Structure 1
Amino acid sequence: MPSETEKSMSALSDEFNDARIDESDQDKSDDISLPAHVAGSGSLERLVDTARDYARAAASDNTLKAYSKDWKHFARWCRLKGTEPLPPSTEMIGLYLADLASGSGPSPALSVSTIERRLSGLSWNYAQRGFTFDRKDRHIATVLAGIKRKHARPPVQKEAILREDILAMVATLPYDLRGLRDRAILLLGYAGGLRRSEIVSLDVGKDDTPDSGGWIDILDQGALLTLNAKTGWREVEIGPGSSDRPARFMRSSNGFTSPGSISGQCLRAPRGMATRRLRTASATNMSRG
């Protein structure tokens, strides 16, 4: 049995190696540079910086963080097995997937979707380091197919919110400024079929905040939402409908002064409160309902 000192030294070594991997990942994100035979110039250097910015935007921050954790986990697993993660070995990757599916020691078995995500993370990390591996190689493909057949479960479907549910939710809200704002947010989210992330990123008007995820226009025919979704900008039209629909509600609630703009108070934060925090709280209320 290893002593406490040996365990402590092993933990420190793992932390050092993880920090080194983080630095390496950061270096890989800045790998885009001019070829060695091309003389540098101000315009070319600016293009290199622009290309690096685009490369960093190729995946979301959350995805990159997940891929970084995937690589650190795999690298640590390789060290514990007495091998190195580079160059890629389809045999070792197949064994790694089997270990994830079966669980080892205190680590529980992972779901099929998480294992597939880990494999995608490894593929991305190897590509950033100039390596590739064939996911169709039998050491990977057959193991993954067996994991899916033995452990795959149908996805859990969330119960949909019905019209009666959303009306019951807004009926609990007061008729003060905050209540009117929360009604507008809940009804817009429901009628537009918006994700929580899309709801909380909405602004009153275009370019209200630097990280805006969209804005709202109230028109004669209803409401038009402009959203910055995962696949790019898109528009969602919401007709006026009946008296319980969002566009008709917001126009009748004195929250908006004129069609085509949202210059009133319906979606603005009460004095002394942060707008984004309140939008987030409203979206949380919707998810709890």
Structure 2
Amino acid sequence: MELTAMEARLNAIVGRKSYNCDILFRVIDIQEQNGRKVAVLYGEDVRLIADAPFEDLVTLGPAERSKITQAFRSLEEQSFELFKQDIELMKEKREYEATHGYKEELSYFQLPGRVLHLDGDPHYLKKCMNLYEKIGVTVYGVHCYEKEMPVRIHALLDQYRPNILVITGHDAYSKSKGKKADLNAYRHSKSFVRTVMEARKKVPNLDQLVIFAGACQSHFESLIQAGANFASSPLRVNIHALDPVYIVAKICYTSFMEQVNVWDVLRNTLTGQKGLGGVETKGVLRTGMPYKPMDED
């Protein structure tokens, strides 16, 4: 059903006819451009920002929305199961090493590091926080609009002192604004790049502060050059809302004495190497002993 002025409201869920309604979008703003109504859209499952005229938008019924959403949910469940298997194998390896090949009974504890997650979308931030909790990662989530991130990052780093920093939200490349190499042709890549650069002024070492930066179609090369360990999007494709969490969790559960192979980080994400990339990085997990429960004398 074509979107009408009566139906055009904030947070309405719509699809774009010109793209065969392949992605669910949420209306976050309504503007007038050149005499016609235009809706500003955030992807429901991918970190994409777009705008579209009303005549290109349709409201989707429950059955249509469920069909599109189910495909993403299936991918999420598959990635989560693969990730759990990966974490279990890493845990068994650490236990083997800590007990000298299971020859000694040693009690130990682990510190997987702290994460500061800046997100331009509070809806996505909530989804990510739920996944962090399921995985067992200590995280501080802050909703911060993309253009405000470069200004706020210094104070946030001082406040939370994280081992890992996530800088994400929504982004998009616009061919009409320039070539793919032109940073000005992107919606929020410039803000992400500036935020990474400001963070690196505080912590220059790539292993002391691990940074993931970017969203859908972001300028990957500029983000890496600015100092990000991992970024999106090498082929300018859309990335899933939860992809940053899987990258961060892999680093959290890898020992600081080990390097994380880039492919090992990417293989359990929903997007893979087309949408995500990075450089070799050390893990942040630290193992200590002995472990003593707090209720013991």
What is the TM-score normalised by the length of structure 1? 0.22
Q: Which has the higher strand share?
A: 2
What is the TM-score normalised by the length of structure 2? 0.22
RCO greater where, 1 or 2, for CA within 8 Å and sep 6 or more? 2
